[in-house]
Structure 1
Amino acid sequence: MGERIASPCVGLCSTTLGDRVCRGCQRVDGEIRDWPALSGEQRQQRMAELDRLRAEVAGRFLEVVDPESLEAQLRRHRIRFRDEQPPLSRAVELLRVGRGRIRDLSCYGLVGRDGEDAAALHDRITTDLLAAAERRQALLPDPLDPPTQEP
Structure 2
Amino acid sequence: MGERITSPCVGLCSTTLGDPVCRGCQRVDSEIRDWPALSGEQRRSRMAELDRMRAEVAGRFLEIVDAASLEAQLRRHRIRFRDEQPPLSRAVELLRVGRDRIHDLSCYGLVGHDGEDAATLHERITADLLAAAERRQALLPDLLDAPTLDP
TM range (shorter): over 0.9
Identity of aligned residues (%): 88
Q: Which residue of 2 aligns with 1:77?
A: 77
Query: Structure 1, residues 47-75: CA drift from partner, whole Å, max 9, x if none?
Result: 00000000000000000010000000000
Q: If the length of structure 1 is used for normalisation, what is the TM-score?
A: 0.96
Letter in 2 for 1:142: D
Q: If the length of structure 2 is used for normalisation, what is the TM-score?
A: 0.96
Q: Output the CA distance in 1 between the equivalents of 2:146 and 2:18.
A: 27
Q: Which residue of 2 aligns with 1:112?
A: 112
- Secondary structure of 2:116 counterpart: coil
Q: Which residue of 2 aligns with 1:51?
A: 51
Contact 2:30 2:143 in 1 (8 A): no
State the shift of 1:146 in Å.
3.1
Q: Output the CA distance in 2 between the equivalents of 1:146 and 1:89.
A: 29
State the shift of 1:145 in Å.
2.8
Q: Which residue of 2 aligns with 1:3?
A: 3
Letter in 2 for 1:97: V
Q: Which runs of 5+ in 2 are unaligned?
A: none
Letter in 1 for 2:71: E
Q: Which residue of 2 aligns with 1:126?
A: 126
State the shift of 1:43 in Å.
0.2
Letter in 2 for 1:92: V
Query: Structure 1, residues 19-48: CA drift from partner, whole Å, max 9, x if none?
Result: 000000000000000000000000000000
Flag as ranges the 4+ runs of structure 1 deviating above 6 A: none
State the shift of 1:3 in Å.
1.1
Q: Which residue of 1 aligns with 2:64?
A: 64
Q: Output the CA distance in 1 between the equivalents of 2:17 and 2:71.
A: 32
- Secondary structure of 1:63 counterpart: strand
State the shift of 1:141 in Å.
1.3
Paired residue total: 148
Q: Is 1:34–2:34 an aligned residue pair? A: yes
